[in-house]
Amino acid sequence: MLERHGVDHAIYYGAKANKSCALVAAAVAAGAGVDVSSLAEFRDAVRAGATPDRICATGPAKSTAFLRALVEAGALIAVDSLEELDDIAALAPAGAGERAIRILLRYRPTSAERSRFGMERGALAVALERVAACDSVFRLEGFHFHLGGYDPETRVVALRELVPLIEIARMRGLDPRTIDIGGGLPVRYVEPELYEAHLTAQGPWHYRTGRVPRSFYPYGGRISAADWLERFLSATPMVGTTVAAFLRSRGLTLALEPGRSLVDQSAISLFRITRVKALGGDERVIFVEGSSFSACETWFASEFLVDPILVPGAASGVDEAARPVRAFVAGHSCLDEDVLTHRLIRFDREPRAGDLMIWANTAGYQMDLLENEFHRHPAPARLTATVGADGAFHFASDI
């Protein structure tokens, strides 16, 4: 899509989507850069073979150690605030010259005026003055913004707001060449018709809480990642000019930092059932080895709307008299809120201790975002599967 529109571009894999080092290595091997938000993620990127020119550091509160490592390596830094700009300047090597610190300035669009991230127009104008006055310390490579939600039009509006700031930067002798619009490219987990039918049919009786969550990730949205890019690049933020044409005419590179959309279909999460408890009628609660920290949508008052696959354990056998049951899934901690899904899932037969539950497509923010060792239970093992020359799967620890 980007090549079809003739747009120079740079793709950075958003490493925060998953803690897997193997996914970072796969991104680097595929020719992508890496978007890092911590010193640990930066080190993972370097170990995976990412060169400094292919690492972009985002996040609002970078530690001094993180900033120092970025400056010393020559990585690209998205500067979140005037205060962070001062912190970075203090780390500049004496007589920087050719080693000027590569930066993007993070803009806070008016649609995100209540956000704590980025700089509003006035602060960003001040940042431009400081950068222009210290051109031997900084090399302004462009601007960055990151918005919540999955609407390409909000990015179009943010780009339009940036245009005057691009011109101000160039009038001050700076040479911004990159516009980084962050992530937000949607993943389609199910067909839109199935998703819309599910949303229409569901009600409070489908949840053990008696409440339907107020929002969900757009699991079956009408717009795919490719559609998203097409709508963004074809939009006309300026009269008679599309985004793609504007970028080409100004010699600007479009940078994107997708996370979830780059790890689509790349992981599963597996839980062993430890106990099934009757709640009355056909309802059950399934306790698993693991916790909602490993499948964290419920901690954000939402739900992962992909049903798990039930795999019978060795002792399950075949029960000809099995009847369907509905069950929600809980973790093994003492917290009543430790629930993997409040949704009452229908099973054709009652699950049993020793059975396995497998959720598919969980790499993007679903499998390890909040993992910890609560109750001193060990953190879940993370394995990487590869296919050998013999056609068999081979597994290795991924830490």
In sequence order, the β-bridge partners of residue 395 are: 385
109 located within any domain = yes
Contact between 349 and 177 (Cβ < 8 Å) = no
From 262, 277, 310, the end of a domain falls on 262
What is the CATH classification number for the domain harbouring 380?
A: 2.40.37.10
CA distance linking residue 170 with residue 168, whole number of Å: 5
Let me know whether 244 and 380 are in one domain: no
Residue 153, CA distances (Å) to 178, 230, 334 in order = 19, 11, 44
Let me know whether 246 and 278 are in one domain: no
Let me know whether 145 and 229 are in one domain: yes
199 located within any domain = no
Let me know whether 61 and 116 are in one domain: yes
From 205, 236, 262, the end of a domain falls on 262
Let me know whether 132 and 30 are in one domain: yes
User: For the whole model, what pTM was predicted?
Assistant: 0.92
From 234, 262, 290, the end of a domain falls on 262
Q: Say how many domains are in the chain.
A: 2
| Res 239: pLDDT | 66
Question: Which are the catalytic amino acids?
Answer: 334
Q: b vs e for 294-327, b when ≥16 Cβ sit within 10 Å of the residue's Cβ? A: bbbbbeeeebbbeebebeeeeebeeeeeeeebbb
Let me know whether 249 and 330 are in one domain: no
327 located within any domain = yes
160 located within any domain = yes
Helix axes 225-234, 152-171, angle to 10 degrees: 50
Let me know whether 283 and 305 are in one domain: yes
Residue 205, CA distances (Å) to 182, 202, 307, 340 in order = 38, 8, 17, 18
| Res 10: pLDDT | 97
Let me know whether 302 and 229 are in one domain: no
Structural domain span for residue 58 = 9-186+223-262
Residue 86: which residues within 8 A CB-CB, separation 6 or more?
A: none
User: Which has the closest alpha carbon to 264: 358, 369, 188?
Assistant: 188
Helix axes 121-133, 82-90, angle to 10 degrees: 20
Let me know whether 243 and 312 are in one domain: no
Let me know whether 83 and 231 are in one domain: yes
What is the CATH classification number for the domain harbouring 176?
A: 3.20.20.10
34 located within any domain = yes
Let me know whether 251 and 276 are in one domain: no
25 located within any domain = yes
Residue 23: φ, ψ to 5°: -70, -35
191 located within any domain = no
- pLDDT digit of tens for each residue in the chain (399 aa)? 899 999 999 999 999 999 999 999 999 999 999 999 999 999 999 999 999 999 999 988 899 999 999 999 999 999 999 999 999 999 987 655 568 999 999 999 999 988 999 999 999 999 999 999 998 899 999 999 999 999 999 999 999 999 999 999 999 999 999 999 999 999 999 999 999 999 999 999 999 999 999 999 999 999 999 999 999 999 997 767 999 999 999 999 999 999 999 999 999 999 999 999 999 888 999 999 988 777 789 988 999 999 999 999 876 666 656 789 999 999 888 888 889 999 999 999 999 999 999 999 999 988 877 677 676 777 778 888 888 888 888 888 887
Let me know whether 93 and 146 are in one domain: yes
Both tokens assigned to 29: 């091997």
198 located within any domain = no
